[in-house]
Amino acid sequence: MKVFVTRAIPAKALENLTHSGHEVEVSKFDRILTGQELIEKGKDCDAILSLLTDKITPEVIDQLGDKIKIISNYAVGFDNIDVAYATEKGIVITNTPCDEVNESVAEMTWAMMLALARRVVEADQVTRQGAYKGWEPAIFLGQLLRGKTLGIIGMGRIGGMVAKRAKGFEMQVLYSNRSRDEKAEQETGAQFVEMDQLLSESDFLSLHVPLTDETRGMVNKEKFDKMKHGVILINTARGPIIKEQDLVEALRDGKVGGAGMDVYENEPIINPELVAMENVIMTPHIGSATHEAREAMGKLAVDALLQTFQDQMPGNIVNKDVWEKRRK
């Protein structure tokens, strides 16, 4: 089988793929490929190992040719792929959900929450600039997490892990989800509430929903107006869930007291007003960037390819309905 990997990934699993006896080509560019570059290299391949930055549209799928059997996406999300069209064409789509990724993103969420609550980044910058002249009683006052309310939008695997860690800080946890999750409530002590109540009572608010037509732009002016004044907002999910200009205005007005952003509405372009704000922490989409997560993701992505080649349905298949009518 012929496989094209759109970008080198930091995982030992890639070595297993290149030594598997299949014809494997890894992109020589350490950057995002253009659509045309992806088509030129992926055309007539049996499989593509893609990244979340690869936009695999119906047009790209058509031009890749009729040999493509599987697109293994090195990411938990798969909003970069038109899954419905791929299914229609008989192409298997897989992703890389695993506890290592969930733990990494959950820990990143807490890192941002703590850093914003205690103004760590601001204090670090001032100290590095030589402005620290000695202890002062009112310098960089932050807030305790103990006794505060954490609101979680999306009680999936990552949201649940974030909620579990709130116990250690003795925080009350509210969550909003498409449906109530009694198992998560038993494990975390979280309380299921309607969205309006969650917004009005949360001191900290964390987003953990996938990007869909329903969630795109869901955190907007209407939602900000309902939030508790001074709320700290964390987004380690997907950037387009938040309307960034509405967030800028909420930060400017003090409605949002601080924001932790690992993802952006028009990634990698960032609203310049956000960049200029001291109460905003910005990171370059590194929520799952741990050695453990990247290795686990690589193994899942490669295993999915090899299993499909052996006519074994991968456990991490996204479009299970395609299996019986898949390309062989």
Count the helix, strand and coil residues of the chain and give each as a percent rounded to the nearest 5: 40, 20, 45
Does residue 264 sit in the same domain as residue 152?
yes
Confidence bin at 10 (pLDDT 50/70/90): confident
| pLDDT of 13 strictly over 90 | no
The Cα–Cα gap between 49 and 25 comes to 10
The Cα–Cα gap between 259 and 241 comes to 14
Residue 221 structural domain = 99-282
Does residue 40 sit in the same domain as residue 16?
yes
Number of domains in the chain: 2
Asked if 267 is an active-site residue, the reply is yes
Does residue 18 sit in the same domain as residue 74?
yes
The pTM of this model reads 0.92
Residue 169 main-chain phi, psi, to 5 deg: -100, 5
Residue 189's pLDDT is 96
Query: What b-and-e string marks burial along 102-134, b requiring 16 or more CB atoms within 10 Å of the CB?
Result: bbbbbbbbbbbbebbbbbbbbeeeeeeeeeeee
The Cα–Cα gap between 264 and 268 comes to 7
The Cα–Cα gap between 9 and 289 comes to 12
Residue 76 DSSP class: S
Does residue 40 sit in the same domain as residue 106?
no
Residue 20's pLDDT is 92
Does residue 267 sit in the same domain as residue 154?
yes
Mean of per-residue pLDDT scores for the chain:
96
The Cα–Cα gap between 212 and 46 comes to 28
What 3-state class would DSSP assign to 26?
Answer: strand
Q: What percent of the chain has pLDDT over 70?
A: 100
| pLDDT of 254 strictly over 90 | yes
Does residue 184 sit in the same domain as residue 269?
yes
Catalytic residue among 157, 238, 294, 326: 238
Asked if 285 is an active-site residue, the reply is yes
Residue 101's pLDDT is 96
Does residue 119 sit in the same domain as residue 189?
yes
Does residue 70 sit in the same domain as residue 161?
no
Q: Tell me: the pLDDT tens digits for 193-237?
A: 999 999 999 999 999 999 999 999 999 999 999 999 999 999 999
Does residue 180 sit in the same domain as residue 227?
yes
**At CB < 8 A and 24+ separation, what contacts does 195-200 make?**
195/153, 195/223, 196/226, 198/151, 198/153, 198/174, 199/151, 199/223, 199/226, 199/227, 199/228, 200/226, 200/227, 200/228
Q: Tell me: the pLDDT tens digits for 117-139?
A: 999 999 999 999 999 999 999 99
Work out the average pLDDT over 316-320: 98
Q: How many CB atoms lie within 10 A of CB 64?
A: 22
Catalytic residue among 267, 273, 292, 295: 267
Does residue 121 sit in the same domain as residue 232?
yes
How many contiguous H segments (helices) and E segments (strands) does the chain have? 13, 12
| pLDDT of 11 strictly over 80 | no
Catalytic residue among 118, 285, 295, 327: 285
Confidence bin at 96 (pLDDT 50/70/90): very high
Residue 105's pLDDT is 98
Question: Which CATH number belongs to the domain containing residue 307 in this structure?
Answer: 3.40.50.720
Does residue 82 sit in the same domain as residue 118?
no
